[in-house]
Each structure stands twice: as C-alpha cells, then as structure tokens.
Amino acid sequence: MTEVQDPATTEALDEAPKGNGVASNGNEIQGKHIIVVHGYLLSGTGSNIYSCNLAHQWKKQGHSITIFCQDPRAKTYEWVDEFVGPKDPLPKERVARGKARVIVPDIDGLLPVYVYDDYEGYTVKTIPNCTDEEIERHIELTSKAIREAVDLWGCDKVLANHALLSPVNVKRALEGTDVPFDIKIHGSGILFVLAPHPVYKKYAIEAIEKCNKIIAGTNHIVRQVKETFEAESEELKLDDKLVIVPPGLDPDVFTPCRNIFKNINKFLDTIRKHIAKENDGRDAKKINFPKVGYKSTNIHTQLVNIGKTYNQRVCDSDLPDKFPNITKEEPIIMYFGKFLNTKGVAEILLCFPEILKKFPTARLVFIGFGGFREHLQAMIHALGTGNLELFRAAAQSPDENGKTFLQSTIDVKKHFPYRLDAQELSRITVTGCLNHTELGLILPLADIVVVSSKANEAFGMVAVEAMAAGVLPLCVYHSGLVDVLDEVKKADPELESKMHLETNPGGDFEAADGEHFTEIFPEKVNEALEFLYPEALGGMNNDKNSNKIKKRLRKLAEERWAWDGICKSLANL
Ligand SMILES: *[C@@H]1O[C@H](CO)[C@@H](O)[C@H](O)[C@H]1NC(C)=O
Ligand SMILES: *[C@@H]1O[C@H](CO)[C@@H](O)[C@H](O)[C@H]1NC(C)=O
Ligand SMILES: *[C@@H]1O[C@H](CO)[C@@H](O)[C@H](O)[C@H]1NC(C)=O
C-alpha cells in the first residue's frame, strides 16, 4: 500500500505523459485530458460534490476535463463550460485546456442506483432490482458513449467514481486502448449493494482487474475494500493498487479570522440578506415544547414533528436577534454538522454546565440541522427552566429503532444542574443551517471545534475545515477520523495530543462510547484552553500564543488537504 498525501512526492516521480497528453514541463505534468465518469448528479452531497471539486480544481491546473454523468441540469452550473445532452452530437474538438465539458450519455431513461431516490426524467431502479439485461444494456450504452469520446479526442486518464457501475463502464469503454483508469471508492456502492448482494461483485472485479489504481479517502475505506474483496485480494493485486488520497478542502472558504468584529458584522449582514430571501427558518417564538408528565414519556416523535414545522435548511429566522454579543475574551466551543443521534451532539451539551463552572465566559455554538434539532432545543430549554424530566425525555426518548439522542446508559441526573440562569443560558446558541459563506465567517471565531461522532465517519472533514480556519478541533479517534489525527501526529505531535479524544478504552475503531466521551471531554476542553491561553483568559500575551497555534493549524491543513495538492496527486497517480 502506498500512501499518497504529499503532492511533491508524486510529482517528483516525473511520470511520462501518456496518450495525447501535452508534454510535461519540468516535474509538473500539465494539460492532460482527463475524463471523469460519475453515474449520477453533480450537485448535492458526497461523491457528487467530490466530482465537481475535482473538475473545478483540475480546470484551474490547466487540464482539459470531460465529465460523463446523468445530470441534465449540469448545463446551468457556473463551472461547466460546455454541455452535451443525450441527443446531441459530440463536438469534433477536445475540450480546451482549463475548461470542463459535461456529457450526459443516452442510457434509455433507466438509472441504476444503490439506494432508491427520485431522479427527474429517469426511471430509477436499485441495482438489485434491475434485470441482468438492464444492467448489461446500461453498461453497453455508457461504455459506447465513453469510447466514442476517447476515440475522437484521445485521453490521458479516466477516473471512475464508486465501485459500481462506472468502473465497469469505463473498463469496457477502454478495451484495446492503453488509456489508464483509476477507481475512486466512496463507500456507498460497497455498503448498499456489494456487501448485501455479493453477486454484483463480478462487475467491480472485472474493472479492478484492469484498473491502474484504486483510490480510497481513508484507511477506513481501504479496510472496507479489502474485506469486500478478501477472496480475490491477491489476483486483484489490491495491495499494489490501493492508494489513499484524502478528500480535499477549499482553503479560501475556511480561513483564520483577523478581526472578530469585522467577521461578526459581515456574518450578520449576510444572514440578514439570506433571511430576507428565505424567512421560513426556525423562530423560537413559534415553538412550543411538549409537556412531560411526572413519569417521563416518549416525546421523540413529537420533537421530530416540531422540527418539520419550519425550513431546516436555512439559518434561523430569529438568528440576528439572538446572536450573542461576543467579546474577545470569551472562549467559544463550536459544533457544526448534522443534529443526529449518532453525532454526540447531546453529549457536548450535557458537559457544558460543568465547563461553564470552570470558564464562566465560555460560549457554546451549535450550527446545523437534522432530525434531532428539537431534541437539542428542548434540552437547552429544560436547562433554563430546571426541568429535569423534559431534559431526560428529549435526551433519551427512544426512536423507532430504539436509539436515543443522548446515549441511554448515561445518568442524566448526575450532570443536570439545578438550572442555568438567564445569563448562563444565553451562552448557548443554536444557529440553524448555514451555507459555506456564512460558516466561513463564523467558524474562525471558535477556539475549539468538537468532532464527537459516536458512529463511523468516512473522513474527518469537519476537523480539517476547522484547522484551515485556525481552530483547534477536539476529535474522537475512530473510523475515518483516525487518518486526520494520525496525519497531524506525524507533523506536530503536541497539537495532536491536544486534539485527540480517545474513544472507549479497548473499544473498536469504528465507533465511540458517548458515556466515555462525557467523562473525558470537560478536561480536554480545559487542557485545550490552557494550551491556547496559558496566561488565563484575558492575559496580555495570550493573543501572541494563540495566533501562533492558529498558524500551525492552518499550515498543516493547507499543506495536507487543500484541493490543489490533492488534485495534483490524483492527476499523477
Ligand atoms: C425492489 O423494488 C421494490 C418495489 O418496487 C422494493 O420494495 C424493494 O425494496 C426493492 N428491492 C431492492 C433490493 O431495492
Ligand atoms: C449564502 O447565502 C448568502 C445570502 O443569501 C449569499 O450571499 C451567499 O452567496 C451564499 N453562499 C453560498 C456558498 O451559497
Ligand atoms: C447585544 O447588545 C445589544 C446592544 O447592547 C442589545 O440590544 C442586544 O440585545 C444584545 N444581544 C444579545 C443576544 O444579548
């Protein structure tokens, strides 16, 4: 297994350009024609956004990019320079350097997916629900379209997304050519199709046998691939082919803050504009929490339903009024991400009263959305009214699968203060969902970002984004999060030791124990704040010290995870 994280190393290999590539200048290879094959859309989340970022960055690096996908709206995206629809003839010329051309091949209207979802204009079937003929037809149509483009324009490299079916589409398209192709594994194809339905492994194997490299974002994905193809590991040369290239970060969106008041004013301006356009976000005045009787009742469904009474995908419409007047000496602890029961959000809140005792000026800011938003709100409300029963019911009412927001083994009473007074309560803020512009302004105000996931994560993007903004992430050590901490440890063991939240002692490396988290978290916050501000808060030289640490964090994130370097690695595999 080779690890490719340092673009400088791969460039130094000075690999000769293949196919119709433009000759390399010095060590850097420029102006390749790269084809990306992604069977789905180019907007939303996960691998869709990954594909956009690759295209965007490779354009900047001077490559010619052709993307095959099934997104008819791609022609409206700002970074897409040319669009070729299913019935359009292919242009004679290859797309120019620094430009992206999207091609939607004609697949006869049937889209094979991993998990059922509606796609406008398509009949959608999960792969296990397709007949063998339907799958073969899909491969035939897609691979023919790719081959036509390769024959017409030449190609230096193809990247196929997911284990199914793009790799087999590409493999058959490239038969008899010497164009190399890599496969990027995102995890969902394996998780939702290959693991439960191993009969479809034959399509993945057919492609892996012929591919150049298999790209995994983390060691966690490497393990998943090795487990899935354990029996075929040797003949597929998995150990030679698997490389780790982490997903990337936009260092221009997440940057350290020079002047907190400028950031806050800009932030408030932006959200006011946003609310003027979309004013259906949460408004505390309109929310009534369920009444909880003497015997605690299950209020899970009621809370979920309250969360559906407003638009969760925008910032709260009362945010400009409730956003706190932050001063410079207040340590800010931040969580951003989904409000789900697997994320450890309730555990963070549970620890806050104890943190406040030690740091009375501390603030806690939650940014995000999700099915457990109102569980979080009800818990905060209950802290202010001293209502232990409501707090417990919101925290530990089981959902339909028996899962609770706060881990059910935790003794809530042990942590519950009599109540928080109004001043203390005002130190907790929930913003709702923020877009990247808004998050980029407010994230660098934090001193600490908490990554508290209890279930496994593909990668620690939140930790990396925090670092880019000069913020110290405190991060549990399991699954895809391990890679971020291990990488930091190599470069700066002291930083890593501050960031590292051990998971359950002796536990597995796929998940963390919420109860253990609540036992160690307040002390780690303590340690982190003393590290950032050794002179006690308000000390004269604290800024100098914390600015140095912010620079260390920023530098590490930029060097290791900026898209620019990541994409150079990928182009030169
Ligand atoms: C196949 O489709 C049916 C409905 O048409 C659905 O109930 C079933 O869950 C699907 N199976 C898979 C494996 O997707
Ligand atoms: C976020 O919302 C603001 C206000 O509507 C807008 O100006 C900005 O462009 C948005 N940013 C992103 C990344 O969508
Ligand atoms: C912030 O300060 C202003 C002016 O003193 C005040 O009107 C506002 O209510 C304060 N905001 C909060 C959330 O305390």
Domain ranges of the chain: 31-245, 260-564
pLDDT surpasses 50 at 9: no
Q: 458-475, pLDDT tens digit by residue? A: 889 999 999 999 999 999
- Of 113, 116, 188, 199, which is best to mutate to test ligand 1, by the most ligand atoms within 8 angstroms of its C-beta? 116
CA-nearest of 530, 522, 531 to 552 is 531
Average pLDDT over residues 145-154: 98
Question: Which atom of ligand 3 lies closest to the CA of 325?
Answer: 1
**pLDDT of 324:** 95
How far apart CA 228 and CA 219 sit, in angstroms, is 14
- Can you read off the two tokens belonging to residue 148? 């036509």
Q: 302-319, pLDDT tens digit by residue? A: 999 999 999 998 999 999
Q: 89-108, pLDDT tens digit by residue? A: 999 999 999 999 999 999 99
**Centroid of ligand 2 to alpha carbon of 428 (angstroms):** 25
**Centroid of ligand 3 to alpha carbon of 385 (angstroms):** 22
Ligand with minimal distance to 437 CA? 2
End-to-end alpha carbon distance in the chain:
13
**pLDDT of 348:** 98
Question: Which atom of ligand 1 lies closest to the CA of 127?
Answer: 14
**pLDDT of 274:** 96
pLDDT surpasses 60 at 2: no
Q: Measuring from each residue's beta carbon to the nearest atom of ligand 1, which residues come in under 6 Å? A: 126, 128-129
Q: 360-409, pLDDT tens digit by residue? A: 999 999 999 999 999 999 999 999 999 999 999 999 999 999 999 999 99
CATH, domain range 31-245: 3.40.50.2000
**pLDDT of 4:** 38
Tell which wins on pLDDT, 4 or 65: 65
**Centroid of ligand 2 to alpha carbon of 62 (angstroms):** 28
How far apart CA 133 and CA 513 sit, in angstroms, is 46
pLDDT surpasses 50 at 537: yes
Taking a C-beta distance cutoff of 8 angstroms, is the pair 432, 279 a contact? no
Of all protein residues, the one whose alpha carbon is nearest to atom 10 of ligand 3 is 325
- Of 126, 127, 134, which is best to mutate to test ligand 1, by the most ligand atoms within 8 angstroms of its C-beta? 126
Instruction: DSSP letter for 265, please.
Output: H
Q: 260-302, pLDDT tens digit by residue? A: 999 999 999 999 999 999 999 999 999 999 998 766 589 999 9
Ligand with minimal distance to 423 CA? 3
The three-class DSSP label of residue 420 is: coil
How far apart CA 148 and CA 213 sit, in angstroms, is 23
**pLDDT of 19:** 38
Question: pTM to 2 decimals?
Answer: 0.83
**Centroid of ligand 2 to alpha carbon of 434 (angstroms):** 9
**pLDDT of 493:** 98
pLDDT surpasses 50 at 23: no
Q: How much is the mean pLDDT over the chain?
A: 91
**pLDDT of 152:** 97
Q: What's the Rg (C-alpha) of the chain?
A: 25
Task: Please give the sequence-ordered ranges of beta strands (E in DSSP) within 69-161, or none if there are none.
Answer: 82-84, 100-103, 110-113, 123-126, 157-161
260-564 CATH choice from 3.60.21.10, 3.30.465.10, 3.40.640.10, 3.40.50.2000: 3.40.50.2000
**pLDDT of 508:** 62
CB 270 less than 6 A from any atom of ligand 2: yes
**pLDDT of 416:** 95
pLDDT surpasses 70 at 532: yes
pLDDT surpasses 90 at 22: no
**Centroid of ligand 2 to alpha carbon of 348 (angstroms):** 29
Of all protein residues, the one whose alpha carbon is nearest to atom 4 of ligand 2 is 274
Number of Cβ within 10 Å of residue 532's Cβ equals 21
**Centroid of ligand 3 to alpha carbon of 201 (angstroms):** 60
CB 325 less than 6 A from any atom of ligand 3: yes
**pLDDT of 541:** 77
CB 274 less than 6 A from any atom of ligand 2: yes
**pLDDT of 44:** 75
**Centroid of ligand 2 to alpha carbon of 178 (angstroms):** 44
